[in-house]
Structure 1
Amino acid sequence: MKEEPNKPDQNDPTLRTLRKVNNFPLYEMNYKGDYRFEEYLKKGGSWPTLETNPACTCFTALSREPVFGRNFDFPPNPVLVLHTAPPGRHASMSIVDLGYFGFDMKHTPDSLDLSTLLKTPYLPFDGMNEKGVFACMMAVPKAEGSKDAGKVTIGEIEAIRLILDYASNLDEALDLMSGYNIEFTNPRIHYLIADKSGKSAVVEFLKGDMNILRNTEPWQVSTNFIITGSDAPAKAPCRRYRVVYDELKEKRGVLTQVEAMGLLQKTSMRKTFWSRACTVWSAVYDPQALEMGLSVGGNYSNVVRFRLLL
């Protein structure tokens, strides 16, 4: 990205809000002020990526009191819950993989310079804003955005920040995404977006086209295969998708937050000899109360509650 903030000292007002929540490690930070995303949207750009192949499970349960569930399956890195409230835009809370900012399990924010944390608003891997709009990403085998010379090109994760900062409902989120070229690097991704009214959509970019797959039932599921043109849900080529879909169908899209976290646990992943990826975090978002329950590192006996800061 261009025109990034000057390197701060550790007395920066944002960095002073950083707190360690647990020893996974999980952190929480409240961004103070503006991170100049509006300037970024005028010029565009994308972020360096990590060479890996994550596997994620996301769902919406939209009957009665909606809940949004998300497993982030990836090689483990420190995790940040980030609160943002930029002037004139929506407040939100989001979750950030700090591996993209120079940290890992041996080199944590406890031991390294913190200045890169001021860039974290640009890479929310999932989140929810004060209007109850939720957005998350999952890796897929392919994705190709438009290359319209009349549009600014933004990164695929920055598109989630676009939604969190500006969208008041699902339709606004979709309109915002359609106004930009989105550059997909590695891994390529698709999106699940929802709002508290009971609307959701999977968004996939194929051959330059933005495909919108809206929910036709009071629930929706997305994992790591292209849904456009597939036989899902009847013959979905993913066990995690089938497990989640079948339970949501049985319950007609009605899940408590405890049940939603249990479903995420049921579809969580552990590291194997062949893959370092595991479920780094499981998050259940409540768009009515503007709260989130978060489990990190597969520790489902210790779900930490966060409230969106307004």
Structure 2
Amino acid sequence: MKKILMWCGLLLLILVVGGGLLLRNELTTLATMKKINNKPFYEMNYRGDYALDKLLKKGVNNDQELADFATGQLLHGLPVKIKVPNLGCTTFNAKTPEGKATFARNLDLDDAPVMVVRTKPKNAYESISVVDPGLLGIKSNEMNQPMARLMTLVAPYIPLDGLNEKGLSAAVLELDGPTTNQQTDKPGINTSVAIRMILDKAKTTDEAVKLLEKYDMHSSAKATYHFQIADRQGKSVIVEYINNKMQVLPADKSYQVATNFYLSPDKYNQGSGQDRYAIASQQLEAKKGILTPQASMNILQAAHLDTKEPNGKVLATQWSAVYEQDKLRLNIAVGHNYKQIYHFNVH
């Protein structure tokens, strides 16, 4: 009996140690997850390989294929669903009085948890991004539950804006139009994978555009989107998809603004957010595109949303982020509290 108990104990130890070694990166990642305030607002430092190169080689043609990849690659069989909600947003780039590039973004949707995620993949650029765990079906009051915490291991694949170590920023904004569903012989990506790819693989705006051109875009949630991308040198573009054709709109001034209507000539002004666009554009024009990071945050505050849609859903600004692209720093306000600005560095 003693020998049986000894061998059972040894077997249990082997299983525990083996499981710990197999899941060491996941466990280390979850150990870094920290609650910052009761929004709820969290931060996480992602450890390990989330296999972006494997995903890009395989390609994904819809959100479910991304979820299936995450289930097998990141969650070891634990099923997950990814659903992108309605996003009413504002973005713009500017320069500080010292000539340093900045990138600003409001993320507007219904009540959501917020998480700042740092990633440091091998053979790719380190970055910081802001994600909404609600895309994984996690509600604000569920963030401390064990299953919800496990689901956050998919966070690298649901960024909505971010900044990498080369000073490149990108963000996605929803448009009103048919789903983008390009069908060529290129591998497929969806909306959030595009942001992940740009942050990991591009150091300039031009490189980001060339990357997007290599893939068929299959936009998330049966919607369509445009992207604003701006680099450390201050070069900004808006990327839209019109009739499944990618269009690149360069800035015609030292700054560029986007909300939730088309900027391409073929569909110009179709959509919403013209009021928020005017707020940002007028203040940028008055300052000739030169703003301190705090002045950029003030514009985000002026353009923030807190409204109720006809269907009863609240559409409110969940976070306001100003990325200092030279200092590689994120300044962020959450839940309309502009008196409390949090600061995070890429490294």
Q: Provide TM-score, normalisation by structure 1.
A: 0.91
Question: Quick one: distance in 1 between partners of 2:155 and 2:227?
Answer: 19
Matched to 2:314, the amino acid is R
Once the two structures are TM-superposed, the CA of residue 117 in structure 1 deviates from its matched residue by 1.3
Counterpart position of 1:82: 117
Matched to 1:94, the amino acid is S
* Pair 1:10–1:219, CA change in 2 (3 A): closer
Residues 39-188 of structure 1: matches in 2 within 5 Å? Answer: 39-45=54-60, 46-48=62-64, 49-50=82-83, 52-62=85-95, 64-110=99-145, 112-142=147-177, 143-149=179-185, 151-186=186-221, 187-188=223-224
Matched to 2:209, the amino acid is L
Pick 1 or 2: higher relative contact order, CA cutoff 8 A, min separation 6.
1
Matched to 2:111, the amino acid is P
Deviations 1:247-288 (A, max 9, x none): 111101101011000000000011426431100000000000
Once the two structures are TM-superposed, the CA of residue 106 in structure 1 deviates from its matched residue by 2.1
Counterpart position of 2:338: 300
Question: Quick one: distance in 2 between partners of 1:267 and 1:107?
Answer: 29
Question: Quick one: distance in 1 between partners of 2:95 and 2:194?
Answer: 23
State the structure with more CA Rg.
2
**Equivalent residues of 1:200, 1:215 under 8 A apart:** yes
Counterpart position of 1:217: 253
Mean alpha-carbon deviation: is it higher for 63-72 or for 297-306? 63-72
**Secondary structure at the counterpart of residue 106 of structure 1:** helix
Matched to 2:49, the amino acid is D
**Secondary structure at the counterpart of residue 87 of structure 1:** coil
Deviations 1:205-239 (A, max 9, x none): 11121100001111000000011017979xx9711
Once the two structures are TM-superposed, the CA of residue 147 in structure 1 deviates from its matched residue by 1.1
For structure 2, the residue ranges without an aligned partner over 5 or more in a row are 1-21, 65-81
For structure 1, the residue ranges without an aligned partner over 5 or more in a row are 1-6
Counterpart position of 2:236: 200
**Equivalent residues of 1:101, 1:116 under 8 A apart:** yes
* Pair 1:203–1:131, CA change in 2 (3 A): same
**Selected match of 2:295 from 251, 256, 259:** 259
**Secondary structure at the counterpart of residue 59 of structure 1:** strand
Q: Provide TM-score, normalisation by structure 2.
A: 0.82
**Equivalent residues of 2:25, 2:48 under 8 A apart:** no
Deviations 1:68-99 (A, max 9, x none): 11000011211110000100100000001000
**Secondary structure at the counterpart of residue 80 of structure 1:** strand
Question: Quick one: distance in 2 between partners of 1:10 and 1:31?
Answer: 8
Q: Percent identity?
A: 34
Matched to 1:53, the amino acid is N
Question: Quick one: distance in 1 between partners of 2:323 and 2:273?
Answer: 26
Mean alpha-carbon deviation: is it higher for 58-67 or for 207-216? 58-67
**Equivalent residues of 2:63, 2:190 under 8 A apart:** yes
Counterpart position of 1:16: 31
Question: Quick one: distance in 1 between partners of 2:45 and 2:203?
Answer: 21
Counterpart position of 1:3: none
**Secondary structure at the counterpart of residue 160 of structure 1:** helix
Deviations 1:158-184 (A, max 9, x none): 100010000010100000000000101
**Equivalent residues of 1:55, 1:73 under 8 A apart:** yes
Once the two structures are TM-superposed, the CA of residue 50 in structure 1 deviates from its matched residue by 3.5
User: What RMSD, in angstroms, separates the aligned Cα atoms of the two structures?
Assistant: 2.2
Counterpart position of 2:45: 30
Matched to 2:329, the amino acid is E
Aligned residue pairs total 301
